[in-house]
Amino acid sequence: MRFNLNEEQLKEKALVIRRNIITMLAEAKSGHSGGPLSVTDFGTALFFNEANIKPEDPNWEDRDFILFSIGHVTPVIYSLMAEAGYFPRKDLLKFRDIEGHLQGHPSRHETPGIEVSSGSLGQGLSVAVGAALGFKLDNEDRRVFCIMGDGEQQEGQIWEAVMSASHFKLDNLVGIVDLNGLQIDGKTKDIMNIEPLADKYRTFGWHVIEIDGHDMKSILSAYNEARTIKEKPTVIIADTIMGKGVSMMEDDHKWHGMPPSKEQAEDILKELGTTYEGWKEYLESQ
């Protein structure tokens, strides 16, 4: 099942997702802000236009396989899932709460729709390669989407998986790199430069698509292009801004793993066209 939202509807949904992210982080007083906001636009297009999913039946045997290798971006993962209907929106208000099922890193044992518990950076693409290869061997028409961070590209295991995906011609695998240029300690290029990233993937035999990760038209075009590629995996390298959509957070690595206070959330949500209490009421309504 595909939601098939159009470009304008996806932009509106992305705004909802950003409001969710800020509200749940402020309520939890814990969690990551920057990465979830940079992932929001291409994540929204994936869930509400591209992926074949059935939220009311998370174990539907024909579903596409979505894996967030950067498991710490749970605020956007859970917001997307709640809006899609995997569980009630009000559950977001118990993010990182021992009484809730939405912990800081995703757990397939607690949250319906999470395919793989993740968060140990560098491992997700290997899991995605295994899933894609398994679907090929079983002649299943299912696709695999693996969302990775750019700092994660510093991990050696990523490149073993990249090589394997090309070797097995996994054209049912799409990697998506959130290239926001920052990680917890600062600029990615200063900590361990990963460039030229696109050329590296091409050299390993992948089809590479480079896009503005916040331009919905470009995002949709990239997903469409990836669907046409045969005999090789595709990577979409999405040029993004950490904290996108929130002026006090944009392009500032200190927000990688820090939530806003409730006072800051009030200002942010006004910037996003609503209020803190107003958006809590929205989440509590379901």
Query: One digit per residue, pLDDT tens: the chain, 286 residues?
Result: 889 999 999 999 999 999 999 999 999 999 999 999 999 999 999 999 999 999 999 999 999 999 999 999 999 999 999 999 999 999 999 999 999 999 999 999 999 999 999 989 999 999 999 999 999 999 999 999 999 999 999 999 999 999 999 999 999 999 999 999 999 999 999 999 999 999 999 999 999 999 999 999 999 999 999 999 999 999 999 999 999 999 999 999 999 999 999 999 999 999 999 999 999 999 999 7
pLDDT of residue 119: 85
Kindly list the domain boundaries of the chain, sorted by start residue: 7-284
Q: Single out the residue of 65, 46, 43, 71 nearest to residue 130, CA to CA.
A: 65
Q: How far apart are CA 157 and CA 2, in angstroms?
A: 32
170 φ/ψ angles, rounded to the nearest 5 degrees: -85, 80
pLDDT of residue 183: 95
124-146 residues labelled b (16+ CB within 10 A) or e (exposed): bbbbbbebbbebbeeeeebbbbb
Beta strands 144-149; 65-68: pairing state: parallel
Q: How far apart are CA 147 and CA 238, in angstroms?
A: 10
DSSP-assigned letter for residue 16: H
pTM score: 0.97
Q: Which two tokens stand for residue 181?
A: 């240029």
The one-letter code for the residue type at 212 is D
Coil, helix or strand for 218? helix
Q: Which fold has domain 7-284?
A: Rossmann fold (3.40.50)
Q: How far apart are CA 113 and CA 103, in angstroms?
A: 14
5 φ/ψ angles, rounded to the nearest 5 degrees: -70, 145
pLDDT of residue 230: 98
Q: How far apart are CA 31 and CA 264, in angstroms?
A: 15
Q: Which two tokens stand for residue 24?
A: 């749940």
pLDDT of residue 62: 97
pLDDT of residue 174: 99
241 φ/ψ angles, rounded to the nearest 5 degrees: -120, 120
Alpha helices in the chain (DSSP H): 7-28, 34-45, 74-84, 124-137, 156-167, 188-192, 197-203, 216-228, 262-271, 276-284
